[in-house]
Protein backbone atom coordinates (compact mmCIF):
# COMPACT_ATOMS: atom_id res chain seq x y z
CA UNK A 1 0.00 0.00 0.00
CA UNK A 2 1.22 3.45 -0.80
CA UNK A 3 0.28 6.89 0.43
CA UNK A 4 -1.21 7.78 -2.95
CA UNK A 5 -3.28 4.60 -3.25
CA UNK A 6 -4.42 3.17 0.12
CA UNK A 7 -5.98 0.09 -1.50
CA UNK A 8 -2.67 -1.17 -2.92
CA UNK A 9 -1.07 -1.06 -6.35
CA UNK A 10 -3.31 -0.35 -9.31
CA UNK A 11 -4.13 -3.13 -11.73
CA UNK A 12 -3.01 -2.32 -15.29
CA UNK A 13 -5.83 -2.63 -17.81
CA UNK A 14 -3.90 -5.18 -19.86
CA UNK A 15 -3.40 -7.42 -16.82
CA UNK A 16 -7.12 -7.18 -15.99
CA UNK A 17 -8.08 -8.14 -19.55
CA UNK A 18 -5.55 -10.97 -19.58
CA UNK A 19 -6.79 -12.28 -16.22
CA UNK A 20 -10.41 -12.27 -17.40
CA UNK A 21 -9.56 -14.02 -20.69
CA UNK A 22 -7.43 -16.64 -18.92
CA UNK A 23 -10.24 -17.11 -16.38
CA UNK A 24 -12.77 -17.70 -19.15
CA UNK A 25 -10.38 -20.19 -20.75
CA UNK A 26 -10.03 -21.98 -17.42
CA UNK A 27 -13.81 -22.11 -16.99
CA UNK A 28 -14.13 -23.56 -20.49
CA UNK A 29 -11.65 -26.31 -19.59
CA UNK A 30 -13.55 -27.02 -16.37
CA UNK A 31 -16.82 -27.38 -18.30
CA UNK A 32 -15.17 -29.67 -20.86
CA UNK A 33 -13.64 -31.73 -18.04
CA UNK A 34 -17.04 -32.08 -16.39
CA UNK A 35 -18.59 -33.17 -19.69
CA UNK A 36 -15.85 -35.76 -20.10
CA UNK A 37 -16.39 -36.97 -16.54
CA UNK A 38 -20.10 -37.21 -17.24
CA UNK A 39 -19.47 -39.54 -20.15
CA UNK A 40 -19.84 -37.07 -23.00
CA UNK A 41 -17.06 -38.85 -24.87
CA UNK A 42 -18.92 -42.19 -24.81
CA UNK A 43 -21.45 -41.38 -27.53
CA UNK A 44 -21.08 -43.57 -30.57
CA UNK A 45 -18.26 -45.76 -29.28
CA UNK A 46 -20.02 -48.92 -30.52
CA UNK A 47 -19.73 -47.74 -34.13
CA UNK A 48 -15.95 -47.83 -33.83
CA UNK A 49 -15.79 -51.23 -32.13
CA UNK A 50 -14.26 -49.77 -28.97
CA UNK A 51 -14.30 -51.69 -25.71
CA UNK A 52 -16.75 -49.76 -23.49
CA UNK A 53 -14.81 -50.36 -20.26
CA UNK A 54 -11.52 -49.14 -21.72
CA UNK A 55 -13.20 -46.22 -23.46
CA UNK A 56 -14.95 -45.15 -20.25
CA UNK A 57 -11.72 -45.27 -18.28
CA UNK A 58 -9.98 -43.18 -20.92
CA UNK A 59 -12.85 -40.67 -20.78
CA UNK A 60 -12.63 -40.59 -16.99
CA UNK A 61 -8.86 -40.06 -16.99
CA UNK A 62 -9.13 -37.40 -19.69
CA UNK A 63 -11.95 -35.72 -17.76
CA UNK A 64 -9.91 -35.60 -14.55
CA UNK A 65 -6.83 -34.24 -16.35
CA UNK A 66 -8.80 -31.56 -18.22
CA UNK A 67 -10.71 -30.61 -15.05
CA UNK A 68 -7.48 -30.27 -13.03
CA UNK A 69 -5.83 -28.21 -15.77
CA UNK A 70 -8.90 -25.97 -15.88
CA UNK A 71 -8.72 -25.44 -12.12
CA UNK A 72 -5.00 -24.60 -12.36
CA UNK A 73 -5.64 -22.12 -15.19
CA UNK A 74 -8.49 -20.55 -13.22
CA UNK A 75 -6.19 -20.24 -10.20
CA UNK A 76 -3.58 -18.58 -12.38
CA UNK A 77 -6.19 -16.08 -13.61
CA UNK A 78 -7.17 -15.25 -10.04
CA UNK A 79 -3.51 -14.82 -9.14
CA UNK A 80 -3.05 -12.39 -12.03
CA UNK A 81 -6.21 -10.52 -11.07
CA UNK A 82 -4.90 -10.08 -7.52
CA UNK A 83 -1.45 -9.13 -8.85
CA UNK A 84 0.36 -12.04 -7.19
CA UNK A 85 4.02 -12.43 -8.06
CA UNK A 86 3.75 -16.24 -8.29
CA UNK A 87 1.08 -15.86 -10.99
CA UNK A 88 3.26 -13.47 -12.95
CA UNK A 89 6.25 -15.82 -12.67
CA UNK A 90 4.20 -18.84 -13.76
CA UNK A 91 2.69 -16.92 -16.68
CA UNK A 92 6.13 -15.77 -17.82
CA UNK A 93 7.44 -19.35 -17.62
CA UNK A 94 4.51 -20.62 -19.70
CA UNK A 95 5.05 -17.86 -22.28
CA UNK A 96 8.76 -18.71 -22.53
CA UNK A 97 7.90 -22.39 -23.07
CA UNK A 98 5.34 -21.43 -25.74
CA UNK A 99 7.86 -19.18 -27.49
CA UNK A 100 10.49 -21.95 -27.36
CA UNK A 101 8.02 -24.37 -28.92
CA UNK A 102 7.42 -21.95 -31.79
CA UNK A 103 11.19 -21.57 -32.29
CA UNK A 104 11.75 -25.34 -32.20
CA UNK A 105 8.95 -25.82 -34.74
CA UNK A 106 10.48 -23.10 -36.93
CA UNK A 107 7.27 -21.13 -36.71
CA UNK A 108 8.50 -17.74 -35.51
CA UNK A 109 6.68 -15.85 -38.25
CA UNK A 110 3.19 -16.56 -36.92
CA UNK A 111 0.40 -14.80 -35.08
CA UNK A 112 0.76 -17.07 -32.04
CA UNK A 113 4.47 -16.30 -31.72
CA UNK A 114 3.83 -12.54 -32.07
CA UNK A 115 1.04 -12.54 -29.46
CA UNK A 116 3.11 -14.61 -27.03
CA UNK A 117 6.11 -12.31 -27.47
CA UNK A 118 3.97 -9.18 -26.96
CA UNK A 119 2.43 -10.68 -23.80
CA UNK A 120 5.88 -11.59 -22.47
CA UNK A 121 7.22 -8.09 -23.07
CA UNK A 122 4.07 -6.46 -21.65
CA UNK A 123 4.05 -8.53 -18.47
CA UNK A 124 7.77 -7.93 -17.96
CA UNK A 125 7.11 -4.18 -18.34
CA UNK A 126 4.32 -4.12 -15.72
CA UNK A 127 6.02 -6.43 -13.21
CA UNK A 128 6.33 -3.62 -10.65
CA UNK A 129 2.54 -3.77 -10.09
CA UNK A 130 2.79 -7.33 -8.74
CA UNK A 131 3.51 -8.17 -5.11
Angle at 95 between CA 92 and CA 96, to 5 degrees: 85
Are the C-beta atoms of residues 96 and 69 closer than 8 Å to each other?
no
pLDDT-based confidence at 62, cuts 50/70/90?
confident
CB 99 within 8 A of CB 68: no
8-17, 38-47, 79-88, 108-117 — which is least confidently predicted?
38-47
Q: Are 39 and 56 in contact (CB under 8 A)?
A: yes
The per-residue pLDDT for 54 is: 46
- The confidence band for 104, taking pLDDT boundaries of 50, 70 and 90, is very high
- This prediction's pTM: 0.73
Amino acid sequence: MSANNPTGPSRPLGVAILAVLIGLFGLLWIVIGLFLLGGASLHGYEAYGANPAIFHQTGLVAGVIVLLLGLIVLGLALGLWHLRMWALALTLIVLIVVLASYVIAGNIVSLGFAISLILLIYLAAVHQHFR
